[in-house]
């Protein structure tokens, strides 16, 4: 099991809430503007961001890795500033993330890279995690769970593996940093099917890309569309 109910007191709370959150620039490199966003269960925000490095910092803020000068960042009703290490780790076990930089450790097999976040942040038995990882891998077009190091996979298979890693467990929040860059039509379709399944089970999604081509026709299924600028988040016209 993940953690006990004292870590997740109310699943009816917003999956992600940024309330006048102002990061400390000196500590993070993210411009010290005020950010506001609220996503409830099953909702999806598509965020256009020309600078994906900035998008990665924004995702860091969402998972409590960037100190704030003011305001609040909450996940499932819990303010990161109020959590000790145990509770922070447990909460991160409910957050999936596709990292633009990959985040792979090539000294170890891809299968261990995929399993490690859940092994570290949750108490889910490894056999259950392995079974889920194989299921996700096959749905995304892999023949099974890759055991070779990530740097020996093709670029598209690493992309598939990154999506498997992000969708492990039962994420309440999914943070996607341009996950479908250069993806084939078949991979995009499989990915969208899984994202839809997760949203149907209550997962909120933040999908960031440099432009609208990053999510294609999925724009019509989004709850809100935003742009990330140096001075904050802004609604896109017509969203």
Per-residue pLDDT of the chain (239 residues; tens, 9 = 90+): 344 344 554 556 899 999 999 998 776 778 788 999 999 999 999 999 999 999 999 999 999 999 999 999 999 999 999 999 999 999 999 999 999 888 999 999 999 999 999 998 888 999 999 999 999 999 999 999 999 999 999 999 999 999 999 999 989 999 999 999 999 999 999 999 999 999 999 999 999 999 999 998 899 999 999 999 878 899 886 55
For the chain, give every domain's residue range.
41-51+93-235
How far apart CA 35 and CA 140 sit, in angstroms, is: 34
Alpha-carbon span 97 to 121, nearest angstrom: 13
pLDDT at 187: 95
The alpha carbon of residue 109 and the mean position of all alpha carbons in its chain are separated, in whole angstroms, by: 22
CATH of 41-51+93-235, one of 3.40.50.970, 3.40.1390.10, 3.30.420.40, 3.40.50.300: 3.40.50.300
For residue 2, the model assigns a pLDDT of 41
- β-bridge pairing 232-235 and 224-229: antiparallel
Instruction: Please name every residue paired with 23 in a beta bridge, in sequence order, or none if there are none.
Output: 68
This model's pTM is above 0.75:
yes
Contact (Cβ atoms closer than 8 angstroms) between residue 187 and residue 159:
yes
């Amino acid at each position: 099991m993940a953690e006990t109910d004292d870590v997740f007191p109310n699943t009816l709370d917003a999956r992600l809430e940024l309330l006048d959150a102002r990061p400390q620039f000196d500590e993070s490199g993210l411009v010290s503007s005020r950010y506001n966003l609220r996503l409830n269960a099953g909702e999806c925000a598509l965020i256009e961001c020309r600078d994906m490095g900035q998008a990665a910092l924004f995702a860091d803020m969402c998972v409590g890795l960037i100190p704030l000068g003011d305001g609040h960042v909450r996940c499932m009703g819990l303010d990161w500033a109020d959590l000790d290490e145990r509770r922070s780790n447990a909460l991160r076990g409910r957050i999936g993330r596709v990292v633009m930089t990959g985040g792979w450790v090539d000294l170890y097999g891809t299968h261990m890279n995929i399993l490690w976040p859940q092994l570290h942040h949750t108490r889910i038995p490894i056999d259950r995690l392995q079974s889920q990882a194989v299921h996700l891998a096959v749905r995304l077009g892999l023949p099974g769970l890759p055991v070779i190091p990530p740097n020996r996979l093709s670029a598209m298979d690493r992309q598939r593996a990154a999506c498997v890693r992000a969708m492990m467990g039962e994420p309440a929040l999914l943070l996607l940093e341009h996950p479908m860059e250069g993806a084939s039509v078949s991979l995009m379709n499989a990915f969208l099917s899984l994202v839809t399944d997760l949203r149907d089970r209550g997962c909120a999604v933040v999908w960031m890309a440099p432009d609208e081509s990053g999510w294609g026709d999925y724009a019509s299924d989004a709850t809100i569309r935003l742009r990330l600028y140096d001075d904050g988040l802004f609604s896109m016209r017509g969203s």
